[in-house]
Amino acid sequence: MRSKDRISYFYDGDVGSVYFGPNHPMKPHRLCMTHHLVLSYELHKKMEIYRPHKAYPVELAQFHSADYVEFLQRITPDTLHLFSSDLARYNLGEDCPVFDNLFEFCQIYAGGTIDAARRLNNQQCDIAINWAGGLHHAKKCEASGFCYINDLVLGILELLKYHARVLYIDIDVHHDDGVEEAFYFTDRVMTVSFHKYGDLFFPGTGDVKDVGEREGKYYAVNVPLKDGIDDTSFTRLFKTIISKVVETYQPGVIVLQCGADSLAGDRLGCFNLSIDGHAECVKFVKKFNLPLLVTGGGGYTKENVARCWTVETGVLLDTELPNEIPENEYIKYFAPHHSLRIPSGHIENLNSKSYLSTIKMQVLENLRYIQHAPSVQMQEVPPDFYIPDFDEDDQNPDERMDQHTQDKLIQRDDEYYEGDNDNDHQMDTS
């Protein structure tokens, strides 16, 4: 048992200032709300706070195709008309709109997950948190489901340099299709997704029968659920399956995606989970005492997302938080009760005991085909940092980094900023 977990937490205020558009459910502003709630409970005093580096295009191309990364770099709302055929090819449009600072947004959230993986690899922390990450739908050559760059795949690729086996767990209401697809043919990564399935629910994948192929057969685990699942059913199923997975697969590190759209009352979700039910999964995974990378994900009722990820930050710090939300910049969002916990929902639970039992038996049966944890011949470890060489004298002086940008690349162990130094922009009230 570790005496006390060392926790690294990644945040850049700029990530919460981008705007997907007036009618779009994705509100990155929820990340500012989460961060300020974390600060108001003084959780920052128990963690190391880092501003992530902005992932370089060459880092993003460790998974994504170079042409797709280059396209994301070049596209802006002003140049849309020049790229009409490419927009369709790379699946940008209504779900994945082009907005100001899109590429920088991707660089920040992906950089956070990559940095988190590197700190774990170098044993500089036991748990690393990047609530801005967890965008699990993005594919190698296209955007999907509000996700442009798949930071989770990039983080897992980083972890694979040091770990023979990586376990990925996803409790977002949507299936982890982008992550599963990336590792569908390998036994080095086991993906486990608990999600709503059926009724044409996005993305439409994740049947219990989808188990991986070739070397990856039985290393993709899907737990398809119906509307209205509650805390008791969800956590019981989660604990049974994850216990067996960890025992069988014996991972060296775990990546946990904590999409908050599985909470009751989410704009796009259809489950009945309370924050305590959701957080119980985080608490359970933490107990394995394995290196742990935790990310956000979906979540479209902003104030509940902020509540959830703050409670889960507390769980990771072994800190029980009072239910009364302290004064903070976003306090009005938590009116009228200003309470941290939300009750579970009242959607009819369509998951019968027999249905859940059948799913559980199928998953456990599939796990029996894994005789033992696969031993993997580790290759030579590639270097940690792929930084493109450039000669500063060749750069256009107008394009050189301004001081503010340079400052943001600096990571200091004591970095913590609030008030006037924060980069959060005006409150988004949409």
Task: Give the number of other Cβ atoms within 10 Å of residue 283's Cβ.
Answer: 14
pLDDT at 406 over 80: no
pLDDT at 411 over 90: no
Position 344 scores a pLDDT of 83
- Residue 151 annotated as part of some ligand binding site: no
Q: Report the sign of the C-alpha dihedral through residues 242, 248, 254, 255, in that order.
A: negative
Domain around 215: 7-369
Give domain status of residue 229, yes or no.
yes
Distance CA 1, CA 3 (A): 6
Position 2 scores a pLDDT of 57
Please report which confidence band the pLDDT of residue 217 belongs to, taking 50, 70 and 90 as the band edges: very high
pLDDT at 373 over 90: no
Across 113-122, 178-187, 214-223, 371-380, least confident range:
371-380
Catalytic (active site) residue 29: no
Residues 261, 176 contacting (CB under 8 angstroms): no
Residue 412's Cα: distance from chain center in Å?
24
Q: Look-up: residue for tokens 């700029």?
A: 14
Position 407 scores a pLDDT of 41
Position 378 scores a pLDDT of 55
Distance CA 277, CA 151 (A): 26
Report which of 110, 98, 109 is spatially closest to residue 73, judged by C-alpha positions.
Answer: 98
- Residue 172 annotated as part of some ligand binding site: yes
Give domain status of residue 293, yes or no.
yes
Catalytic option among 35, 137, 175, 278: 137
**pLDDT tens, residue by residue, 244-266:** 999 999 999 999 999 999 999 99
Position 375 scores a pLDDT of 60
- Residue 174 annotated as part of some ligand binding site: yes
Q: Considering only residues 417 and 35, tell me which one the structure prediction assigns the higher pLDDT.
A: 35
Q: What is the mean pLDDT of residues 131-141?
A: 98
Give domain status of residue 341, yes or no.
yes
Mean pLDDT of the chain, nearest integer? 89
Q: How many domains does the chain divide into?
A: 1
**pLDDT tens, residue by residue, 384-394:** 554 444 443 44
Give domain status of residue 416, yes or no.
no
Give domain status of residue 422, yes or no.
no
CA distances from 106 to 35, 60, 96 (A): 18, 9, 12
Distance CA 234, CA 238 (A): 6
Q: What is the mean pLDDT of residues 53-72?
A: 98
Q: Look-up: residue for tokens 């908050």?
A: 260
Give domain status of residue 383, yes or no.
no
As a whole-number percent, the residues of the chain with pLDDT over 90 amount to 83
CATH classification at residue 217: 3.40.800.20
Q: What is the mean pLDDT of residues 377-384?
A: 52
- Residue 355 annotated as part of some ligand binding site: no
Position 370 scores a pLDDT of 87
Give domain status of residue 374, yes or no.
no
Give domain status of residue 391, yes or no.
no
Q: Considering only residues 24 and 403, tell me which one the structure prediction assigns the higher pLDDT.
A: 24
Please report which confidence band the pLDDT of residue 415 belongs to, taking 50, 70 and 90 as the band edges: very low
